[in-house]
Structure 1
Amino acid sequence: MVADARLAADIGGTFTDVALEATVAEDHRARWTAKVLTTPHAPERGVLEGVRAVLAKAGLSPGEVALMIHGTTLATNALIERKGARTALVTTEGFRDVLALGNESRYDQYDLNISLPEPLVPRRWRLPVPERLDNTGKVLKPLDEAALRALVPVLEREGIEAVAVGFLHAFVNPVHERRAAAILAEALPGVPVSLSSEVSPEMREWERFSTTVANAYVQPLMASYLGRLEAGLREMGMAAPLFLMLSGGGLTTVATAARFPIRLVESGPAGGAIFSAHVARQRGWEKVLSFDMGGTTAKVCLIDGFAPQASRTFEVARVGRFRKGSGLPLRIPVIEMVEIGAGGGSIAHLDGMGRIQVGPESAGADPGPACYGRGGVRPAVTDANLLLGRYDPESFAGGALRLDVPAAEGAMARAVGEGLGLEPGMAALGVVEVVDENMANAARVHAIESAKSYEGRAIIAFGGGGPVHGCRVAEKIGVTRILVPSGAGVGSAIGFLRAPVAYEVVKSLYTRFARFDLAGVNALLAAMSAEAAGVVAQGSFGAPTTEQRIAYMRYVGQGHEIAVALPARPLEEADVRDIRAAYDREYARFYDRPVPGSDVEVLSFAVTVATVVEAAEPAAEPHDSPAPPPLRTQRVRDTATGQVAGWAVYDRAAMPPGCRVAGPCIVAEAETSTLVGPGWSCRVDGLGYLELTADLK
């Protein structure tokens, strides 16, 4: 007999991961997982296949599932690959080129041939309308409704599938945008309309317009996909509500996700960060690095105080690799992380100078790496790991996929080995060393940009590739402790099951501390709180909630803001002094000292309402116990030395808490393998997690 069965599905570029948890007899929570190849042309098919597989493992029927949570990179991929809807932007007369002009900054000041990201909407579809509000929201020029209606034949003739509306200062007063939406909805039934005053109601028109256009661009695609997925689940017999993972780390309803699909752009990676934060809380580790390596990308995220770093800005589709400012800006709540094209499917090749390059292009699931035997002819990181002896070709992905060693050798020889005069094994070593250095470098840059270090920090490694590459990446960044949780191969999906139902509302209201608008701020915060609570109530089922309020401030004349926490209640006069003092302290933390005598201005506010996260119960420290005998010995090439030696392979399921094995060895399980490198040891803790420790001698 089971109760409260909860299902989670994460679509990645190569694999779709599914996790199912339920309470079985005597209050025991059990978990079942499945990993299937993603079906890029119809992503819902992979999800449905994975759901059927995991339900069969658990012996449950679809009707016994109480809740399903889903995350996907579909919106992100549509933006990167430019495969969204034919989108038009209706904007204030004189501002049609905001998307192209941006903020006139250059991500590389000295590149004379710099490439900037092309706007999602070409100029002929950026359509101006006479109207104007001032910065306080006062109407200077009424909306010219006749001019707006005159655009309808143009939109119809061009086959426009979605419309974004972005008017100047609409974040203060949305009256013109709402009227424009009503007119367009009447004239173009069935064409979705995104308003900047709803999608991103903040100042800075480039970021606001860009976010609104991106939302409109992916809306038809996401609405269609979510509709097909819901229909497939219903046909299967599942009546449970479906929730979507947001890029900020919370869950929301399908209706909200379909309305604001841009908030889903980092939903999969966000699940991984939530997973790491939960594991860190279980172990009481306050400073960790989340390292999630999947089939297409690797993601690193700093977690302090059991919470991932958060941000309100994000860039997608960067044209300059790893270059800030080279992508399309989005103003949405996100978990801050670095994502690079270094996954199991990342393709290796030689550049014009004969150097090994890996990614960002990925073989994905179709055709996949050469060793998958599905038509791939170019070598990927998975091929390199196979040739290094890290994978057993007969038991990869739990035996669901038999790997083709000769195909991997041929692909590696043609693309890398022949050009460098190396046999396939040594060429594979070069590929893996390059990809490990790419990931380590991304982690270094992320720490530097966050003004943090890796001293005293541990790595939580998961995803199909994280436990495989964890030791080498740790050695490169100076970390001596790694944790590989149970279910690591489907960590993001498990993270969905740990996420709260949450929603964040951000709005702008300009005020200075010299004449702080207490009544206006309280009225705005109350309205924002009610809006966020209303969205959360749709999926919280009466669960208790918490509320967080933040103000984004800066000294008058500065260009960027700092976040300061506010009390989750109506503000009083005495609070104004305390908030100003808190800003000075936070500014000093970033820049060493405050600026005395300068007034502070508040540009925007954020309110987040979320259900209360369950407390993580730590497990008791286990007594030492003997390790089981190894399953077999595998010939593995060490990437640090290039030497080939026999490594013992252990079955993770047979390793009891408290047992310890010394490296070099491999701990194998269905969804991944953990490499314990030379000089490392591995111990199973009381939670069944693998704790790897480097020998400091």
Structure 2
Amino acid sequence: MIRLAVDIGGTFTDVVLDVHGVRHTAKVLTTPQHPEQGFLQGATAALKKAGLRAADVEAIVHGTTLATNAIIERKGARVGLITTDGFRDSLEIAYEHRFEQSDLYMVRPEPLVSREDRWCVTERLAADGSILLELDEASLERVAAQVKAAGIEAVAVCLLHSYANDAHERRAGEILTRLLPGTPISLSCEVSPEIREYDRVSTTVANAYVRPQMQGYLKRLEQQLAEQGFKCGLLMITSSGAMTTLQTACDFPIRLVESGPAGGAVLASNLSMELDETRVVSFDMGGTTAKICLVDDYRALQARTFEVARAYRFLKGSGYPLRIPVIEMVEIGAGGGSIAGVDEMRRITVGPESASSSPGPACYGRGGDQPTVTDADLCLGRLDPDHFAGGQIKLDTDSANSALQKRIGVRLDIDGVAAAAGISEIVDENMANAARVHAIEWGKNLQERTMIAFGGAAPLHAARLADKCGIRKIIIPTGAGVGSAIGFLQAPIGYHVTRSRYVSLDEFDSAEVNALFAAMRQEAETAIRRATSKGEIEEQRVAYMRYRGQGHEIDVALPSRPLVDQDKALMEELFAQRYQELFGRTIPNLGVEVMTWSLAASIPVPPPRKQPPTIAGEKAIPSNFRQIFDPDLMHEIGHGIYVRTALKPGMRIEGPAVIVEDETSTLIGRNFDALILQSGYIQLERKS
């Protein structure tokens, strides 16, 4: 097929056009006010390279950070929350604890819904879903009138215990749809039908908060694609790394919050299989953020919780919790556009604020006057000012030096090069620290892993990051500068369904659980078949289990078949194995219970072909040399410059060197050597 993938990031919009296995790429600046303009600009550029028309494209896959940015920047819709009488303030009470005990000036994040926009209706369910008090429809109609008078743009309905019985919420949705025509209604029983009230409310409110903006954008994009001559459908990447339909994305845009980074994790998973690397850490550094993900046995780690817009960088609880299927990764404000400064203790700081695409780094010449990581890389000699982003953006070295000297150098009494070196070291250490913490939290060892680096800025920083983390091998794939977009094309069509249903294994009823999974399978299959009628659907089942009385569950993979009553012993055994793996022990003579069940259905894509071994051959000859600052030696040294398209499989390159290409550049430290693999990938390996 001829397929188009578009990844809209905070700074760049990356485009990949795959024509029967041959890729044509484009990288353009994101247009924040009208993202569809950057989308179409990049798509047009890729089509021009391939000599094709819009009508030739047979499929479009899209991922975007718009939903995430709307929450972070608090630029979403005015949301009205309707909940059970007496629970108006659950959203603000949250977890009832301080996420930073030692900070006397700690400030909780403001709820996405102000108190005056929260309403209560009369109804009540018990924890098992039985009805204690019927829904008072008259009270709901009065609330609907108040919502309409207040000018609310979207409504979130979160009634108590609706995960156990959705009758009241669905009836409320019917009434509100009739009384508030045109207003998007988000029901918690559809958005996040799981136990734990605050997480469910927070997720549903966030969905309502971004829904009008995302619906408007996606509908405009669909219309403009048709006007430009595209005749194929548009699929969206979700945070779990699967493709879904445009309608599903419009109804549940909160599932898109990590769509761009998820594409990168899909790419890393496929590369790990192709290279037969069972332990991988993926490093995706773009213009705004850096993402780090662990891949074990060819699969990225998965989670069902995520926190967005953290006010305190690494502190859990300082953001908005979302309970959605997501690829587990750590994301920090460390990209090429991350802004550097000096704090009150005369320390260089980098991020999380970004210059984004407008005005962009100082060296872009678009009005930015604050120093960024890209300005530092330019002043250190790592970037060619005339060939950045394939020559589309001419970098201004004088503007970069001026910004570095004015904002950093003057305050610390150092020159611009020293300021640039300080910025580079700080951002690399921030990323290394985030990677270490993430690995420790999962009980993993970074030093035994191979790094797969992609994104516009990652190949520049990968070798130094590997130094700091003790990693010996790095892979830079072809098209690394648009890696996440390439990952979009490798993602399966799929859908993830989760349901909370308490089951004690002492009272395990296989018929009840099978009925629940059958309903979940039906929901997932319906969503998948909206996207395609072809292919056999496979499923993966997971139970979230715990010892009786514990506060949190662990994920336990189940057989993808109907269960029988005798499977109680199997589930206990699987739980014990998983608990032992995570915590190094089990707890004897304690009952086991299941809180939540999950089903991930997808149409699998063919696995990548295993790459044959590469025999090292001739030594490549550099096209020229460039003086680049070395952070260890604290002075400039000569680096050979190589053009990636001129390198053949088997060629060797001794560090220090730089391999340049249109969307990025790979910096090979003096303690690394490079080998061009059969696939054209660059393999960096630490010198012995």
How far is 1:613 from its partner? Answer: 2.2
Aligned-residue CA RMSD in angstroms? Answer: 1.0
Q: Which position in structure 1 is the counterpart of 2:8? A: 11
Amino acid at match of 1:130: T
Aligned residues with identical type, % of pairs: 51
How far is 1:617 from its partner? Answer: 0.7
Amino acid at match of 2:94: G
Does the 8 A contact of 2:404 with 2:416 survive in 1?
A: yes
Whole-angstrom CA distance in 2 between matches of 1:692 and 1:128: 60
How far is 1:151 from its partner? Answer: 1.5
Whole-angstrom CA distance in 2 between matches of 1:338 and 1:591: 21
Whole-angstrom CA distance in 1 between matches of 2:491 and 2:532: 12
How far is 1:152 from its partner? Answer: 2.3
Q: Which position in structure 2 is the counterpart of 1:633? A: 625
Q: Which position in structure 2 is the counterpart of 1:680? A: 672
Whole-angstrom CA distance in 2 between matches of 1:493 and 1:455: 28
Q: Which position in structure 2 is the counterpart of 1:484? A: 476
Gaps spanning 5+ residues in structure 2: where? none
Q: What is the aligned counterpart of 1:77 among 34, 59, 69?
A: 69
Residue 509 in structure 1 maps to residue 501 in structure 2? yes
Q: Which position in structure 2 is the counterpart of 1:202? A: 194
Q: What is the aligned counterpart of 1:462 among 442, 451, 454?
A: 454
Deviations 1:121-160 (A, max 9, x none): 0111110111001112111111111111111232122210
Residue 405 in structure 1 maps to residue 397 in structure 2? yes
1:237-636, aligned counterparts within 5 Å?
Answer: 237-636=229-628
Amino acid at match of 1:157: A
Does the 8 A contact of 1:625 with 1:656 survive in 2?
A: no
Q: What is the aligned counterpart of 1:99 among 85, 91, 111?
A: 91
Does the 8 A contact of 2:616 with 2:675 survive in 1?
A: no
Q: Which position in structure 2 is the counterpart of 1:48? A: 40
Whole-angstrom CA distance in 2 between matches of 1:695 and 1:286: 22
Amino acid at match of 2:250: A
How far is 1:634 from its partner? Answer: 1.1
Does the 8 A contact of 2:620 with 2:653 survive in 1?
A: no
Deviations 1:573-623 (A, max 9, x none): 221210111111211222222222211111110011111121111232344
Amino acid at match of 2:467: E
Whole-angstrom CA distance in 1 between matches of 2:435 and 2:532: 36
Q: Which position in structure 2 is the counterpart of 1:26? A: none
Amino acid at match of 2:141: R
Does the 8 A contact of 2:270 with 2:607 survive in 1?
A: no
Whole-angstrom CA distance in 2 between matches of 1:34 and 1:370: 23
527-536 or 72-81: which moved more?
527-536
How far is 1:324 from its partner? Answer: 1.1
Does the 8 A contact of 2:509 with 2:565 survive in 1?
A: no
Q: Which position in structure 2 is the counterpart of 1:134? A: 126
Find the residue that maps to 1:31 and give its secondary structure.
strand
493-502 or 580-589: which moved more?
580-589
Does the 8 A contact of 2:82 with 2:155 survive in 1?
A: yes
Deviations 1:220-259 (A, max 9, x none): 0000000011111111111111100000111100000100
Amino acid at match of 2:9: G
Gaps spanning 5+ residues in structure 1: where? 24-28
Amino acid at match of 1:474: A
Deviations 1:372-423 (A, max 9, x none): 0000000110000000000110111111110001100110000001111111
1:143-292, aligned counterparts within 5 Å?
Answer: 143-292=135-284
- Please identify runs of 4+ aligned residues in structure 1 that moved more than 4 A: none
Amino acid at match of 2:18: E
Deviations 1:491-545 (A, max 9, x none): 0000000000010000011110111122211111111011111111222331122
Whole-angstrom CA distance in 1 between matches of 2:681 and 2:498: 38
How far is 1:112 from its partner? Answer: 2.3
112-121 or 187-196: which moved more?
112-121
Whole-angstrom CA distance in 1 between matches of 2:47 and 2:94: 49
Whole-angstrom CA distance in 1 between matches of 2:575 and 2:641: 54
Whole-angstrom CA distance in 2 between matches of 1:183 and 1:475: 60
Amino acid at match of 1:422: I
Amino acid at match of 1:416: I
Find the residue that maps to 2:566 and give its secondary structure.
helix
Q: What is the aligned counterpart of 2:102 among 102, 110, 114?
A: 110
Residue 691 in structure 1 maps to residue 683 in structure 2? yes
Does the 8 A contact of 2:241 with 2:262 survive in 1?
A: yes
Whole-angstrom CA distance in 1 between matches of 2:50 and 2:278: 34
Find the residue that maps to 1:83 and give its secondary structure.
coil
Amino acid at match of 1:171: Y
Whole-angstrom CA distance in 1 between matches of 2:360 and 2:217: 23
Whole-angstrom CA distance in 1 between matches of 2:284 and 2:614: 27
151-160 or 87-96: which moved more?
151-160
Find the residue that maps to 1:152 and give its secondary structure.
helix
Deviations 1:53-99 (A, max 9, x none): 00100111111111100000000000001100000100000001111
Does the 8 A contact of 2:123 with 2:133 survive in 1?
A: yes
Whole-angstrom CA distance in 2 between matches of 1:304 and 1:384: 34
Find the residue that maps to 1:365 and give its secondary structure.
coil
Whole-angstrom CA distance in 1 between matches of 2:327 and 2:583: 23
Amino acid at match of 1:12: G
Find the residue that maps to 2:58 and give its secondary structure.
strand
Question: Normalised by the size of structure 1, how large is the TM-score?
Answer: 0.98
Whole-angstrom CA distance in 2 between matches of 1:469 and 1:592: 35
Whole-angstrom CA distance in 2 between matches of 1:222 and 1:614: 32
Whole-angstrom CA distance in 1 between matches of 2:221 and 2:617: 46
How far is 1:114 from its partner? Answer: 1.6
Deviations 1:195-230 (A, max 9, x none): 000000011000000000000000000000000111
Whole-angstrom CA distance in 2 between matches of 1:14 and 1:465: 12
Whole-angstrom CA distance in 1 between matches of 2:328 and 2:225: 32
Find the residue that maps to 1:151 and give its secondary structure.
helix
Does the 8 A contact of 1:627 with 1:656 survive in 2?
A: no
Residue 87 in structure 1 maps to residue 79 in structure 2? yes
Find the residue that maps to 1:116 and give its secondary structure.
coil
How far is 1:640 from its partner? Answer: 1.7
Whole-angstrom CA distance in 2 between matches of 1:591 and 1:413: 50
Amino acid at match of 2:630: D
How far is 1:106 from its partner? Answer: 2.0
Q: Which position in structure 2 is the counterpart of 1:670? A: 662
Whole-angstrom CA distance in 1 between matches of 2:271 and 2:417: 36
How far is 1:627 from its partner? Answer: 4.2
Does the 8 A contact of 1:540 with 1:611 survive in 2?
A: no
Residue 39 in structure 1 maps to residue 31 in structure 2? yes
Amino acid at match of 1:71: G
Whole-angstrom CA distance in 1 between matches of 2:256 and 2:425: 33
Whole-angstrom CA distance in 1 between matches of 2:337 and 2:365: 13
Deviations 1:425-483 (A, max 9, x none): 11100010000000000000000001101132111011011100000000001001100
Does the 8 A contact of 1:70 with 1:244 survive in 2?
A: yes
Whole-angstrom CA distance in 1 between matches of 2:49 and 2:621: 27
Whole-angstrom CA distance in 1 between matches of 2:576 and 2:131: 36
How far is 1:628 from its partner? Answer: 4.3
Does the 8 A contact of 2:543 with 2:558 survive in 1?
A: yes
